[in-house]
């Protein structure tokens, strides 16, 4: 894990331009957020393949469906809060139910717009999106994974929702990492407990593992870029081989945490702790401060692991 922090939007914009150069079907549909989506260079290079519908998110997703009807591969880019909430029915009907080949790029989701307040937070999106049939839901953790996810999405036929954060994150994957949908990545091995993280919280889970290692506690850290499809096999192995599972995410605990809990409770119940927002709107503050506040700091994650290890063994 490098100390340098990256803005994954740079990786998104680079990867999109790269796939667009190789495939003339690739287009972008955007809601005035050209700058905040870092799409200025793309629009300059591909003016005819850029559609800016203005501040009109519902129509934006519908326009993408019309483009997909003609065989285009539209990447729809907008702030996660507006894309997910404002265009929810269009995502359900025009993208997912219609089986349209649309890529929905949720920019700066979670609490990335921390100080803009709850109206601009998108803590519900992983929960909402994972309940829509047929929609693939991805949250890459670092710039290299963001690049690979965008390339994969361009090749993959089907509706896909991807979180891309502006929050600074370090590179978390080893050299040669290859993203695969529906696959968790074991970034640390360990049999005491498992921490499952996605997106911007993965680096925090790794720091927690380091803190715990200093105490002799060996946690398995699973990065779960696919919230849907979930790597149920990896979750089950974690349930069988370790004492319990901590999930951590930048959003409501019903997103990744809900998905993992459903899998665990149906197939192999073990103690769990889910770190994320509960039944509240996040207050205002920086993204980092808000994540710390909900226990998604390295110290908070480590504490949740210790809680599980203090429980009587169940198997």
Name which position in 11, 27, 205, 263 contacts other proteins (CB under 8 A).
Answer: 27
Decide the pairing of beta strands 185-188 and 219-223: antiparallel
Q: Which CB sits closer to other proteins, 51 or 123?
A: 51
Q: In what order do the strands lie in the sheet with 26-30?
A: 50-52, 26-30, 73-79, 103-107, 160-164, 136-138, 226-228
Token reading at 309:
């290890």
Q: 3-class DSSP state for residue 70?
A: coil
**Which of 102, 107, 130, 129 minimizes the C-alpha distance to 120?**
107
Check binding of 62 to other proteins (CB under 8 A): yes
Q: Which of 51, 132, 294, 308: binder of other proteins (CB under 8 A)?
A: 51
Which span sits near other proteins by CB under 8 A: 96-104, 124-132, 149-157, 268-276? 96-104
Judged by CB, which is closer to other proteins: 8, or 61?
A: 61
Supply 177's token pair.
Answer: 């990492």
Please report whether residue 66 would count as binding other proteins according to CB under 8 A: yes
Residue 69 lies near other proteins (rule: CB under 8 A): yes
Q: Quote the DSSP letter at residue 200.
A: G
From candidates 7, 13, 38, 72, binder to other proteins by CB under 8 A: 72
Per the structure block, which two tokens stand in for 48? 């005819």
Residue 132 as a binder of other proteins (CB under 8 A): the answer is no
If one asks whether residue 32 binds other proteins (CB under 8 A), the answer comes out as no
Decide: is 64 part of the binding site for other proteins (CB under 8 A).
Answer: yes
Q: How does DSSP classify residue 110?
A: B
Q: Return the residue of 18, 36, 59, 186 that touches other proteins, per CB under 8 A.
A: 59
Residue 171 interacting with other proteins (CB under 8 A)? no
Asked whether the CA dihedral 261, 310, 290, 39 is positive or negative, the reply is negative
For other proteins, give the closer residue by CB, 11 or 65.
65
For 104, 189, 287, 307, the CA distances from 21, given in Å and listed in that order, are: 20, 39, 34, 50
Least distance (Å) from other proteins to the CB of residue 63?
4
Among 5, 23, 41, 54, contact with other proteins (rule: CB under 8 A) = 54
Written as six digits, the tokens of 303 are: 């504490």
Residue 146 in tokens? 């963001």
So which residues are the catalytic ones?
57
125 part of the interface to other proteins, by CB under 8 A: no
Q: Which residues bind other proteins (CB under 8 A)?
A: 27, 29, 48-49, 51, 53-54, 56, 58-72, 74, 89-90, 93-94, 97-99
């Amino acid at each position: 894990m490098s100390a340098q922090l990256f803005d994954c939007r740079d990786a998104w914009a680079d990867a999109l331009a790269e796939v667009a150069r190789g495939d003339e079907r690739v287009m972008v549909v955007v809601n005035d957020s050209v700058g905040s989506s870092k799409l200025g260079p793309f629009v300059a290079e591909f003016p005819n393949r850029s559609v800016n519908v203005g501040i009109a998110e519902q129509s934006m997703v519908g326009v993408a469906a019309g483009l997909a009807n003609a065989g285009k591969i539209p990447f729809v880019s907008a702030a996660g809060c507006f894309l997910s909430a404002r265009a929810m029915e269009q995502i359900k009907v025009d993208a997912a139910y219609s089986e349209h080949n649309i890529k929905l790029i949720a920019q700066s989701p979670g609490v990335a717009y921390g100080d803009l307040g709850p109206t601009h937070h998108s803590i519900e999106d992983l929960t909402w999106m994972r309940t829509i049939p047929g929609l693939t839901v991805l949250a890459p953790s670092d710039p290299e994974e963001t690049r690979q996810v965008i390339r994969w999405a361009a090749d993959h036929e089907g509706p896909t929702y991807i979180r891309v954060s502006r929050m600074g994150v370090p590179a978390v994957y080893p050299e040669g990492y290859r993203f695969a949908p529906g696959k968790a990545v074991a970034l640390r091995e360990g049999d005491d407990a498992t921490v499952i993280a996605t997106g911007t919280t993965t680096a925090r889970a790794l720091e927690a593992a380091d803190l715990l290692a200093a105490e002799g506690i060996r946690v398995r850290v699973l990065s779960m870029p696919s919230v849907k499809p979930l790597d149920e096999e990896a979750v089950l192995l974690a349930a069988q081989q370790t004492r319990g599972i901590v999930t951590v995410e930048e959003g409501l605990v019903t997103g990744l945490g809900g998905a993992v809990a459903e899998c665990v409770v149906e197939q192999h119940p073990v103690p769990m702790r889910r770190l994320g927002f509960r039944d509240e709107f996040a207050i205002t503050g920086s993204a980092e401060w808000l994540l710390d506040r909900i226990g998604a700091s390295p110290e908070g994650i480590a504490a949740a692991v210790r809680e599980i290890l203090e429980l009587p063994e169940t198997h």
